[in-house]
C-alpha cells in the first residue's frame, strides 16, 4: 500500500487498516482513477455519506481550524441524548463564527410535546453548557422535518461562508448530510480537495447547486455514552426509534428499577411518589426491592436482567454509583447518556441513585418535558 498517498477527493492520507477511520481505501480500489477514499467514493457514486469517527483530541484540532476560517457551523445534537451529544468546548474553538444548533430526532419526543417550552429548555441548557447559538432548529433527519427551516437559517447566516457540519457520533449527521446532498447538491461537479491537505482529518466538501459548500466533518466519539460501549444488537434496544411512550412508576422508598442489565435506578429516600421513565420502548424494566437489588444482579445479570447478555455485560466497565439529592419542589430529570432519563414527579424531594458502567455520563437537570 503506497505510504503517504492522499485522497484526491478530500485530501486525507489514505490508509488500508481501519474501514471506520478517515482515509480508508480497499487495495483493489488503487487501480481506479482518480484514487479517492472509500468515503468520497460513496458520496460521489451513491450520493451517500458514511460516518467516520475520530477521537476527541483529533476532533478538537479540527475545530480550531474552523476557528481560523470565516465559517458557519451547524452543530447537530440528539434530543434523546442532549447532554451526551453536545460538543462542550465548541464555543472556545469556533471563535466568533455563528453556530446553528440543529436539534435532531425530534420524532422521538411524545406526540404532545410543547414546542415553545422545549425551545426555552434548549436555550437554557445550551447557555448553561457555554454554547452561544445564532439559532436553534428542531429537526428529524428520519422524517425529513425541519430541513426547510434549517436551510433557510443557513441562507440567512452564511453570507459567503462555507458551512461546516459537526456532531458527535450517532446523532444523525450522516442522515442529515445525505438529505442535504440529495436535495441540494450538484454532484456532477467534482468533489473538491480539502482546504487542509495533509491533515489526518477528512472533511468532505459537498458542492451545493449555487457554488457554495457544505463540509462534513468526522463524528466525534464521546466514551461517556452507552452508544460507544455496546454492540449493534444492544444499541438497537437502547436507542429509541419510535416516539417515546413515557412509563410511570409509583415507587416507595427502598425500591429499584433495572433497565435490562444496562443500569439501575434506586429510590433511596422520600415520600411515595411517581417517576416517569423516558427510555426506548424496547427496554425491559424490572422493578425490585433495593435491599435485594445487588443479589438479583449477581444471580440474573444477562438473563432475566438483559440485554446485554452475560458475555456482553462482562465486557462493560464495572458499575459506579451516582447519588442525587433532589430538592423539594424542583422539576428534575435524572439523565443517563444514551439510555434516556427518569423524571422525578414528586414535589417533596427525594434521594436517588443510579448505577451504570463507569464513564457513562449521568446528571441531574431541569425536566425536559
Answer yes or no whether residue 174 interacts with ligand GDP by CB under 6 A.
yes
Stretch of residues binding ligand GDP (CB under 6 A), selected from 8-16, 18-26, 135-143, 286-294: 135-143
- SS3 state of residue 127: helix
- Answer whether 112's CB lies under 8 Å from 147's CB: no
Neighbour-count burial of 143, counting CB atoms closer than 10 A to its CB (0-12 exposed, 13-18 middle, 19+ buried)? exposed
Q: Distance between CA atoms of 308 and 302, rounded to whole angstroms?
A: 6
Q: Which of 9, 98, 172, 346 binds ligand GDP (CB under 6 A)?
A: 172
Touching ligand GDP, residues 34-53 (CB under 6 A)? 51
Q: Distance between CA atoms of 36 and 44, rounded to whole angstroms?
A: 10
* Nearest distance from C-beta of residue 42 to ligand GDP, angstroms: 13
Would you say 142 or 195 has its CB closer to ligand GDP?
142
Answer yes or no whether residue 140 interacts with ligand GDP by CB under 6 A.
yes
Query: For ligand GDP, how many residues bind (rule: CB under 6 A)?
Result: 18
Stretch of residues binding ligand GDP (CB under 6 A), selected from 128-136, 165-173, 324-332, 341-349: 165-173
Cell 415553545 belongs to which residue? 116
Answer yes or no whether residue 217 interacts with ligand GDP by CB under 6 A.
no
Would you say 48 or 253 has its CB closer to ligand GDP?
48
* Nearest distance from C-beta of residue 172 to ligand GDP, angstroms: 3
∠ CA 351-355-357, nearest 5°, is 155
- Answer whether 121's CB lies under 8 Å from 96's CB: no
Touching ligand GDP, residues 254-313 (CB under 6 A)? none
Q: Which of 22, 207, 219, 307 binds ligand GDP (CB under 6 A)?
A: 219
* Nearest distance from C-beta of residue 217 to ligand GDP, angstroms: 11
Answer yes or no whether residue 84 interacts with ligand GDP by CB under 6 A.
no
Answer yes or no whether residue 142 interacts with ligand GDP by CB under 6 A.
yes
Return the closest-CA partner of residue 203 out of 261, 162, 254, 160.
162
204 grid coordinates: 468532505
Cell 450522516 belongs to which residue? 174
Give 151's contacts (C-beta < 8 A, 6+ positions apart): 184
- Answer whether 276's CB lies under 8 Å from 342's CB: yes
Pairing between β-strand 162-167 and β-strand 213-216 as defined by DSSP bridges: parallel
Q: Which of 25, 87, 141, 215 binds ligand GDP (CB under 6 A)?
A: 141
Q: Which of 241, 291, 295, 323 binds ligand GDP (CB under 6 A)?
A: 241
∠ CA 157-159-163, nearest 5°, is 70
Return the closest-CA partner of residue 203 out of 166, 230, 175, 170.
166
88 grid coordinates: 462542550
Would you say 217 or 256 has its CB closer to ligand GDP?
217
* Nearest distance from C-beta of residue 100 to ligand GDP, angstroms: 16
Stretch of residues binding ligand GDP (CB under 6 A), selected from 4-12, 118-126, 137-145, 302-310: 137-145
- Answer whether 118's CB lies under 8 Å from 366's CB: no
Q: Which of 38, 91, 97, 104 binds ligand GDP (CB under 6 A)?
A: 104
Q: Which residues bind ligand GDP (CB under 6 A)?
A: 51, 104-105, 107-108, 140-142, 167, 169-175, 219, 241
Amino acid at each position: 500500500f503506497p505510504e503517504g498517498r492522499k485522497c484526491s477527493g478530500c485530501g486525507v492520507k489514505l490508509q488500508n487498516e481501519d474501514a471506520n477511520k478517515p482515509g480508508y481505501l480497499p487495495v483493489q480500489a488503487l487501480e481506479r482513477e482518480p484514487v479517492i477514499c472509500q468515503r468520497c467514493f460513496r458520496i460521489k457514486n451513491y450520493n451517500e455519506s458514511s460516518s467516520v469517527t475520530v477521537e476527541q483530541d483529533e476532533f478538537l484540532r479540527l475545530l480550531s481550524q474552523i476557528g481560523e476560517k470565516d465559517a458557519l457551523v451547524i452543530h447537530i445534537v440528539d434530543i434523546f441524548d442532549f447532554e451526551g451529544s453536545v460538543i462542550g468546548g465548541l464555543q472556545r474553538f469556533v471563535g466568533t463564527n455563528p453556530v446553528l444548533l440543529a436539534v435532531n430526532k425530534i420524532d422521538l419526543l411524545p406526540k404532545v410535546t410543547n414546542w415553545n417550552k422545549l425551545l426555552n429548555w434548549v436555550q437554557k441548557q445550551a447557555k448553561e453548557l457555554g454554547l452561544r447559538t445564532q439559532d436553534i432548529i428542531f429537526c428529524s433527519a428520519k422524517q425529513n422535518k425541519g430541513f426547510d427551516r434549517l436551510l433557510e437559517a443557513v441562507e440567512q447566516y452564511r453570507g459567503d461562508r462555507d458551512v461546516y457540519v459537526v456532531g458527535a457520533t450517532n446523532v444523525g449527521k450522516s442522515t442529515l448530510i445525505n438529505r442535504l446532498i440529495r436535495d441540494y447538491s450538484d454532484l456532477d461537479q467534482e468533489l473538491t480537495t480539502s482546504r487542509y491537505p495533509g491533515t489526518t482529518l477528512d472533511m468532505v466538501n459537498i458542492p451545493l447547486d449555487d457554488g457554495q459548500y457544505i463540509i462534513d466533518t468526522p463524528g466525534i466519539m464521546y466514551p461517556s455514552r452507552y452508544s460507544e460501549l455496546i454492540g449493534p444488537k444492544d444499541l438497537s434496544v437502547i436507542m429509541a426509534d419510535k416516539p417515546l411512550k413515557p412509563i410511570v412508576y409509583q415507587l416507595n422508598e427502598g425500591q429499584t428499577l433495572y433497565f435490562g442489565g444496562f443500569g439501575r435506578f434506586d429510590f433511596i429516600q422520600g415520600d411515595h411518589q411517581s417517576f416517569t421513565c423516558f427510555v426506548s420502548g424496547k427496554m425491559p424494566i424490572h422493578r425490585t426491592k433495593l435491599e435485594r437489588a445487588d443479589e438479583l444482579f449477581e444471580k440474573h445479570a444477562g438473563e432475566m436482567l438483559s440485554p446485554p447478555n452475560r458475555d456482553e455485560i462482562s465486557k462493560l466497565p464495572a458499575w459506579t454509583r451516582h447519588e442525587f439529592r433532589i430538592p423539594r419542589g424542583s422539576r428534575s430529570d435524572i439523565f443517563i447518556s444514551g439510555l434516556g432519563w427518569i423524571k422525578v414527579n414528586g414535589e417533596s424531594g427525594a434521594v436517588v441513585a443510579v448505577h451504570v458502567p463507569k464513564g457513562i455520563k449521568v446528571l441531574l437537570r431541569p425536566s425536559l418535558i
